[in-house]
Amino acid sequence: MLKLKPDVVKKSIYHISFNDLINRGIKNIIIDLDNTIVPWGDRHIPPELFEWVNTAREKGFKLCIVSNSGRERIQYFASRLNILAASKRGKPFLRAFKSAMRMIDGNRNNTAVVGDQIFTDILGGKRMKLYTILVEPISRKEFPGTKIMRLLEKTVVNRRLG
Residue 134 makes CB contacts below 8 A (sequence gap 6+) with 6, 8, 9, 10, 115, 116, 118, 121, 122
We report the CATH number of the domain holding residue 60 as 3.40.50.1000
Range of the structural domain that residue 45 is part of: 16-161
Read off the DSSP letter of residue 140: S
Q: 145 pLDDT exceeds 90?
A: no
Question: What pLDDT does residue 90 have?
Answer: 73
* Chain segment 20-77, per-residue pLDDT in tens: 999 999 999 999 999 999 998 889 999 999 999 999 999 999 999 999 888 999 999 9
d(CA 44, CA 118): 25
Total tally of structural domains belonging to the chain: 1
d(CA 110, CA 130): 8
Of 82-86, 117-121, 158-162, the one with minimum mean pLDDT is 158-162
Q: CA 80, 114, 92 angle in degrees (round to 5)?
A: 100
Residue 11 lies in a domain: no
